[in-house]
Each structure stands twice: as C-alpha cells, then as structure tokens.
Structure 1
Amino acid sequence: MKPLNSRIENEWFALNEAEEALKSLGFSYGGGWEYDHGYFDYKLDDEVGYTFLRLPFHVVDGELEQKNTTVQFDQPFLLAHKYQVGLDDHASTGNLSGSFNQFSEPQDPDASIDHKWVKIAKDLLLQAENKLLT
C-alpha cells in the first residue's frame, strides 16, 4: 500500500455527486463496503496481480443506501496484490455443500508498486480532484 497526498482528503461530498463524477473517469465501487464506509477504485493493472488507485471514504451524514448521504474522503492510496502461481496452499472443500474455494490467496497481499503506476495514479488522482472540487 502506498498512501498518496490529495486535496480531496477530509473534504465532504454528496455521495451521489461524487459517484457520478468518479464513474465518468472510470472509477467503480470497490469491495469491502460496510454500512459506514466504502471505496472508489480504479484498476490500473491486472497482469500478474492487480494494482488499484483506491479512494476511501466514510459516511458523515446518512447511510450509504440513502439518496442524500454525505461522505468525507480519507487519504487515497495505491493497493497492489500479486497472484499466487499454481495451486493455493490453503485450498479446501466445503464440508456440507461439496463446494470448494476456487480463489487463490495472493502471493503478496502488499506487493511493491511499480513507479510507472505511481505516476499514472497521481495523474488520475489530479483528474479526480479537479472533477470533484470544481
């Protein structure tokens, strides 16, 4: 994980307006939503793993499922995971349903981030700041 400085950090926005602005740049809702916080993600790379620019936020008024929710952005960061090559060391089958976990654990859940992605992420973050703050 690599934190990035941003002008949107600590700024408040209507969630629906932030969503509209960020989706127009290619961001989507990231995983890990809770009732009081969430993420907008932009996938930068997915060759040997994945690299995302992540814009975290938390609710300051309302609830995420309401129309007029106000959110505050936290510090953006780059997140990289490297896929495990081969079979998962911890693969298991379900005991009652006969199902199995088909997804490998990441080889490196906090992989180093190539400098080219840092520059691209900073440029994209500037676009997001300009879109949100104007």
Structure 2
Amino acid sequence: MRFEHTGLEEEVRELSLLDDIMEENGFVRAGGWDYERLTYDYKIEVLKDVYYLRVQGVAVEGDIGGRYAVIQLMKPILGKHYYPHGVEYDEEFPENIVSKCEGILKKVKEHLVAMPK
C-alpha cells in the first residue's frame, strides 16, 4: 500500500538530519542501503502479524556511504511480512494499522517542516 499526499515525497534533506528525525519517530535505517538509495523501516507487530511502514529515499547529492548526502524522500509504503518469502505490499491492511501509519507519517512531516532546509 502506498500512502498518497503525505508531503514526504516533497522533502529533500541532508542525510544526517533525516537519520535523526526518523530515529526520533521510531524508524531504523534498513541495512540494505546502497550508495544511491535507502529505506527507513518502522516495524509494527500485532499478535503473529508483522508490518513494515517504509520510507524510501534516493540520493540527489553525494552518496549514502560517504560523509555527506542529500536525500529526496519517496511516497511511504506499507507491507506485511510473510516468513520466509518477504514483504508484500499489495494487500488489504487493517484500518487500525493504516491509521497508526498515517499518524506516524504526519508526525515525521511535522518534524521535517520544523527543521530548516
């Protein structure tokens, strides 16, 4: 599921600032980054189900492995993890999970807006 109209896809920010804001909001930078792309994950566990709210980004200046990078965020996505196959995104998600994700994304956007560019 892709979240539309969050405003995050309009954000272009320095990587270290993004790392701080995302960590403050419960996200971790996934270990699968490369020099041009990254993913921040927010893990939600409900009973036996595991969901991932993901905010991906692409470097528009510098590279992610270097000392400096500027990142353009993309539209956030929500997926459900199925062991051992991975994460599926094209599903119907429980309304409480979707609402929780919308609240988290709103909070992230508010933090980004409060920080100078």
Q: TM-score, normalised by structure 1?
A: 0.75
Instruction: Give the superposition deviation at 1:30.
Output: 2.0
Q: What are the equivalent positions in structure 2 for 1:1-134 lying under 5 Å apart? A: 2-5=1-4, 6-45=6-45, 47-83=47-83, 104-106=84-86, 109-110=88-89, 111-134=91-114
State how far apart, in whole Å, the 1-side matches of 2:75 and 2:31 are. Answer: 17
Instruction: Give the superposition deviation at 1:129.
Output: 0.4
Identify, as 1 or 2, the structure richer in strand.
2
Q: Using the TM superposition, name which of 69-78 and 44-53 deviates more.
A: 44-53
User: How many residues of Structure 1 are paired with residues of Structure 2 in the alignment?
Assistant: 112
Gaps of 5+ in 2: none
Measured against aligned partners, the alpha-carbon deviations of 1:41-83 in whole angstroms (never above 9, x if no partner) come to 1111263342011111000000101222100001111111233
State how far apart, in whole Å, the 2-side matches of 1:39 and 1:18 are. Answer: 11
Identify, as 1 or 2, the structure richer in helix.
2
Matched AA of 2:110: N
State how far apart, in whole Å, the 2-side matches of 1:49 and 1:131 are. Answer: 29
State how far apart, in whole Å, the 1-side matches of 2:7 and 2:18 are. Answer: 14
State how far apart, in whole Å, the 2-side matches of 1:81 and 1:68 are. Answer: 32
State percent identity of aligned pairs.
21
Matched AA of 1:40: Y
Instruction: Give the superposition deviation at 1:34.
Output: 2.0
Point out the structure with max Rg over C-alpha.
1
Return closer, same or farther for 1:109/1:7 CA change in 2, 3 Å cut-off: closer
State how far apart, in whole Å, the 2-side matches of 1:65 and 1:31 are. Answer: 12
SS of corresponding position for 1:127: helix
State how far apart, in whole Å, the 1-side matches of 2:45 and 2:30 are. Answer: 15
Structure 1 residue ranges (4+ consecutive) displaced by more than 3 angstroms after TM superposition? 108-112
SS of corresponding position for 2:13: strand
